[in-house]
Each structure stands twice: as C-alpha cells, then as structure tokens.
Amino acid sequence: MPRHPDAIIERNQILSDARMRLPSPTRKSQPVSRGELADAVNAALDRLYPDTAKELRVDARWIGKLERGEHRWPGEERRAALRAALEADSDAALGLFNPRRTDDQSNVNAGRFPFKAKVQVKLKPPAQIDTSVAHPARRYDYWLGGKDNFAADRKSADAIEARFPGMRAGIRANRDVLRRMTEFLTAEAGIRQFLDIGTGLPTVDNTHEVAQRIAPESRVLYVDNDPLVMAHARALLTSSSEGFTDYIEADLRQPEAILAAARDRDRLNLSEPVALMLIAVLHFIPPGKGQAQAIVRQLVNELPAGSYVAATHFTVDFMPPEEKIRYQQLLDAGISDIWPRDEAAFSAPFGGLDLVDPGITLVNQWRRGAGADDIDPSRISVRGAVWRKP
C-alpha cells in the first residue's frame, strides 16, 4: 500500500480527472462518461486478450470503483487495457501502484509525486481490427512463437513458409541479433538512448528490456507506422522506473517527424549519443530512388558523434535459385512489399560511418556466442551490421 495517505486520494483523483478532461465520443462538449471509458477499455481487452476478454469486461460501475480506490490494483490484463485506452505509458501515469511492492520508488515518493503534470491521456476511437485477414505484424509474431496472432495469420504464415522454408529461422535469427546488438550497444558502447524504428509486436527481449537489464536508466523511443503494433506496445512495453519508454506512431519515410517527436518533451536528448535501431525495417523502403539513403542520412545527421546505427535487412543472395525466382514473382505481382538488397545496396546509406567488428554478416553470425548453431546460410536471408558515427 502506498505509504503516504494523500497518495491514495491523489492516485484515484488522477483517473477521474483524466476522464473529465476527455471529450465524449458521442455527446458534444461533454466529458467522457464512465460507460464510454469502460467501452474503450473493453475494446482494448478484445484487441489484447481475445481469448479471455469476455471474462474481463468492465462496466461503468467498475470504472467508478477504480476511481474511488475500491479497486486498488487491477489484474495485469485490465491494467494493460486501461493503459491502452488512455494512452498512458505506465501504471504510474494512471496513479496505479502495486500495493504489495514496498521497494517501489514511486510508493516511497507517493504523495509528493507531481502526478497531474505527468499524466498525458487522450481517448482514441478503438482501431478496427479484422482478425479474419492475415496481418504482417501478427504473422511475424507467430513465426517468433508469440501468442498475438489469429488463425488467418497462422495459415498465411504456414503457406509462406511452405514456399520459403528458411523464413522462421531467419526471423528468429534476426530477433536474436536485435538482442545481441542491444547488449553490445548498452554494455560495450555505453549507449543509454535508443530510437527503435519498426518496433514490431511486443515479444521476448524487446529493446528496452535488454538495455534496461544492463542499464536500468536507458531511454527507448519506439516508432512504428502500424496502429495495431502501437496499441500493443503502449499496453505491454513498460519501462523500468529509472528509465523511460515511449511510443509514437510515425513513418520511417518521414524522418523529420520522428526527430521532432524525439526532441519533443526531451524524450531523447539528441546532444548525447543515441543508437538508431533499424532492425528489419529498411527493406520496406523500395529500391531505386535513393529513398533509403536519404532517410538514413537525415536521421544520422541529427545525431551527435559517438552515436550508433544498428541495421538488419532482407536479402535473397543466399537463397536456392528456385526460391529466388519464386520471390521475384511475388515482388513482380505486388504481393510482397519487402525489398531484398545485396550487401553493397544495404551498406550504401551508411557511407561515412565506421563499421563495427565483425562488419556486415548474416544475422546469425554477428557476434554470436561460442557454441551457437551453424545454420545453413540459405535459411538465413537477413544481413546485419552496426556502425558508429565518428
């Protein structure tokens, strides 16, 4: 239980204050009602926990009890749905603290916390999510062994894998190298700020978890252009209390908007080194017009010396010839939007930066630990490297 009695009152005031400031989606100039907030929480439950959402549903009375402090510490699923519905990046931002955790710094400080200044909430209409159609991020989640996917995603993923049997191994190796690169950047390069573009659905070892395991004060700004990814990320990726995470829905093709959001409210301090993470995202930028190069240049130009870029990218260079042909057919038919690049095209945007050892490798080879599996290169269609800005 928070130690300071004022904290209990203040904590529960936050939710009702937040609700009173939100516009009702149906009644002009009125604050959102408890029932409308309950609807938004239920929609978030449906999105995040489709299997159990029914049992977890809340109503206006439940919201009232929460505001009055009668529900001190709702279960993880309901807290996640509340964070998603109110676009809050932590439980603390909603004034919710785990009453059993006496080591929680927020509890120690309870009552003196500038809660109101910290709360940034707005109610969004729930995104329309069609679970009967395969979705790229959910398909990716399935290949990684996650649970945020539906039958249509699994069917589509299995069909792709039947044609490209290396798919799952390559994707898993890519996710593993994201962890190893983040470990290198935090533990060896001393980086404490990460701009992670192309977040993907939360899964094991997300960037901030890896970095904060080594340096709890690490700050991570996640960027993705997919609202489904962002809804999950906001709800499920919560920072250590010493560090910081935030999420913005933005497009890699608009680097100036990403940089402006990074500067906004000092999410990242761009006068201190930053690691720009471009893990399995640059290949969504089509080749030919120098667009990938222009994007990377624009982002890197705004980072100080001593910053790093970690990037991975799809390639068909090691695929068996028949798979290469099949892949080209998918591109020609407009079925795939993932553009392979060879080593020269992958590295072109990073000219002028210093390549970190061991250079550009297939992702399973990059600083892999002793005893790591030797996977046939034709199964791993992803290259990766880390560069340092001199």
Answer whether 339's CB lies under 8 Å from 283's CB. yes
Size of the site for ligand SAM (CB under 6 A): 20
Amino acid, single-letter form, for residue 202: P
Phi and psi (nearest 5°) for 61?
Answer: -65, -40
Per CB under 6 A, 339 contacts ligand SAM: no
Site string for ligand SAM, 117-146 (x = CB under 6 A): --------------------x--x------
Angle at 91 between CA 138 and CA 89, to 5 degrees: 55
d(C-alpha 284, C-alpha 251), whole Å: 11
For ligand SAM, the binding residues in 205-224 under the rule CB under 6 A are 224
Nearer to ligand SAM, 96 or 230 (CB): 230
The structure tokens listed for 316 are 């068909």
Q: How far is the CB of 279 from ligand SAM (least distance, A)?
A: 4
Site string for ligand SAM, 80-119 (x = CB under 6 A): ----------------------------------------
Q: Specify burial of residue 256 (Cβ count, 10 A radius: 0-12, 13-18, 19+).
A: exposed
Nearer to ligand SAM, 36 or 226 (CB): 226
For ligand SAM, the binding residues in 247-306 under the rule CB under 6 A are 251-253, 279-281, 284
Q: How far is the CB of 109 from ligand SAM (least distance, A)?
A: 34
Per CB under 6 A, 178 contacts ligand SAM: yes
Crossing angle (nearest 10°) for helices 227-236 and 76-85? 130
Phi and psi (nearest 5°) for 124?
Answer: -110, 145
Nearer to ligand SAM, 106 or 174 (CB): 174
Position among 42, 90, 106, 174 found at the interface with ligand SAM (CB under 6 A): 174
Answer whether 106's CB lies under 8 Å from 238's CB. no
Q: Specify burial of residue 5 (Cβ count, 10 A radius: 0-12, 13-18, 19+).
A: exposed
Nearer to ligand SAM, 126 or 198 (CB): 198
Per CB under 6 A, 195 contacts ligand SAM: no
| Site residues (vs ligand SAM, CB under 6 A) | 137, 140, 174-175, 178, 197-200, 224-226, 229, 251-253, 279-281, 284
